C-alpha cells in the first residue's frame, strides 16, 4: 500500500503537472454492489453527482493528509483519493478500458489523469473543502510525522495513547500517527533497534528518540528518491521510486542483517494480521514483551 512518501511523491507530481488545469470530463468503470449508497464513485448514483460537480472546475492544487490525496477545486469542493493497496495516479494519455485503469479525468490541456488500481480497492469521493477536517475520512487521523512542531515528546505522547499495544501495529494505527504503514514501520524499528512485539510502555525514552529520528530521516529520504516501488506504486509519470533498493528490514526475510557487526538474519512474523520484518539479534528485547 502506498504510504506517506509515495502519497507525497504523487502530490508533488500533481502540483507540477495538473495544477491550474480544468476537468473536462470523468469516466469510470468502478462499480460494486457493496458500495451502493456510499459516498464514493463505486456507487453509480454518487458517480453521476460527482461527475456533474467536478466537470468545469479548475484544480487549484494538491495536498496530502495521511495516505489521502486531496485535489482542491475552484468550486469549493475537494476530490479525496485514497490509493489503498495497489492504486497510483498517472498523468498522460490513456484509453478507456485500458488494463487496470478504472477512472480517468480528462483535462483542459488534452492530457488525462488516470487511476490505475489492480485490485480495485481505491476510493474516490468528493467533500466540501471547508468540511474536510470534520469529514469521516479525516477527522480521526493522528498528527503528521513530518510537521515542524511534531517533536519527539509529542511522538512519545501519541504512542502512549496505546501504551499496552505492541509497537509495530501502534505505529501503523492512523489515529495515532498519520501516514506510516508496513514498510516504514519495519524500517524505523530496525534503525532504532526495537523489536516489533515490544509493548509501547516498556520502550525507554532513549529508544523513542531513536525511533523518532529514524522516522523523520527515512520518510524525508524516501520522498526525495520517489518512494518505494517494490510493488505496484509508480509516480504520476509512471516512473519507479528507488526506496526499495535501500530497505534494511522490509522484504529481506532470511537475509543477513546489514547492520555493522550484527550477525543476525532478518526474520518475518505476523502481528495483528500484518507482516513484520526485523533482526532478532540487534532488535532483541532487553525485557519481556
Annotated catalytic residue within 2, 145, 169, 196: 2
Annotated catalytic residue within 42, 67, 77, 123: 67
In three-state form (DSSP H/G/I as H, E/B as E, the rest C), the secondary structure along the chain is CCCHHHHHHHHHHHHHHCCCCEEEEEEECCCCHHHCCCCCCCCHHHHHHHHHHHCCCEEEEEEEECCEEEEEECCCEEEEEECCCCEEEEEECCCCCCCCEEEEEEECCCCEEEEEECCCCCEEEEEEHHHHHHCCCCCCCCCCCCCCCCCHHHHHHHHHHHCCCEHHHHHHCCCCCCCCCHHHHHHHHHHHCCCCCCEHHHCCHHHHHHHHHHHHHHHHHHHHCCCCCCCCCCCCCCCCCCHHHCCCCCCCCCCECCCCCCCCECEEEEECCEEEEECCCCCCCCCCC
274 in catalytic set: yes
3 in catalytic set: yes
2 in catalytic set: yes
Annotated catalytic residue within 65, 274, 280, 285: 274
5 in catalytic set: no
Catalytic residues: 2-3, 67, 274
Amino acid at each position: 500500500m502506498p504510504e506517506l512518501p509515495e502519497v507525497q511523491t504523487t502530490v508533488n507530481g500533481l502540483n507540477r503537472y495538473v495544477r491550474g488545469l480544468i476537468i473536462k470530463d470523468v469516466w469510470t468503470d468502478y462499480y460494486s454492489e457493496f458500495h451502493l449508497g456510499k459516498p464514493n464513485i463505486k456507487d453509480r448514483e454518487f458517480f453521476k453527482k460527482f461527475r456533474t460537480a467536478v466537470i468545469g472546475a479548475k484544480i487549484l492544487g494538491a495536498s496530502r493528509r495521511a495516505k489521502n490525496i486531496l485535489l482542491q477545486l475552484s468550486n469549493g469542493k475537494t476530490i479525496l483519493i485514497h490509493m489503498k493497496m495497489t492504486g497510483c495516479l498517472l498523468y498522460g494519455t490513456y484509453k478507456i478500458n485500458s488494463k487496470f485503469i478504472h477512472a480517468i479525468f480528462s483535462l483542459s490541456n488534452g492530457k488525462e489523469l488516470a487511476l490505475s488500481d489492480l485490485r480495485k480497492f481505491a476510493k474516490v469521493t468528493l467533500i466540501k473543502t471547508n468540511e474536510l477536517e470534520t469529514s469521516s475520512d479525516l477527522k480521526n487521523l493522528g498528527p503528521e510525522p513530518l510537521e515542524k512542531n511534531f517533536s519527539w515528546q509529542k511522538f512519545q505522547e501519541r504512542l502512549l495513547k496505546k501504551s499496552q499495544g505492541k509497537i509495530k501495529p501502534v505505529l501503523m494505527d492512523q489515529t495515532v500517527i498519520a501516514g506510516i504503514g508496513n514498510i516504514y514501520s519495519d524500517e524505523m524499528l530496525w534503525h532504532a533497534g526495537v523489536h516489533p512485539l515490544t509493548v509501547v510502555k516498556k520502550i525507554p525514552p532513549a529508544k523513542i528518540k531513536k525511533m523518532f529520528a529514524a522516522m523523520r530521516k527515512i520518510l524525508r529520504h524516501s520522498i526525495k528518491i520517489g518512494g518505494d516501488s517494490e510493488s505496484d506504486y509508480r509516480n504520476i509519470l509512471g516512473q519507479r521510486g528507488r526506496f526499495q533498493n535501500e530497505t534494511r528490514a522490509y522484504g529481506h526475510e532470511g537475509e543477513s542483517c546489514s547492520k555493522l557487526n550484527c550477525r543476525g538474519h532478518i526474520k518475518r512474523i505476523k502481528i495483528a494480521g500484518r507482516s513484520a520484518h526485523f533482526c532478532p539479534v540487534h532488535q532483541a528485547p532487553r525485557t519481556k514483551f
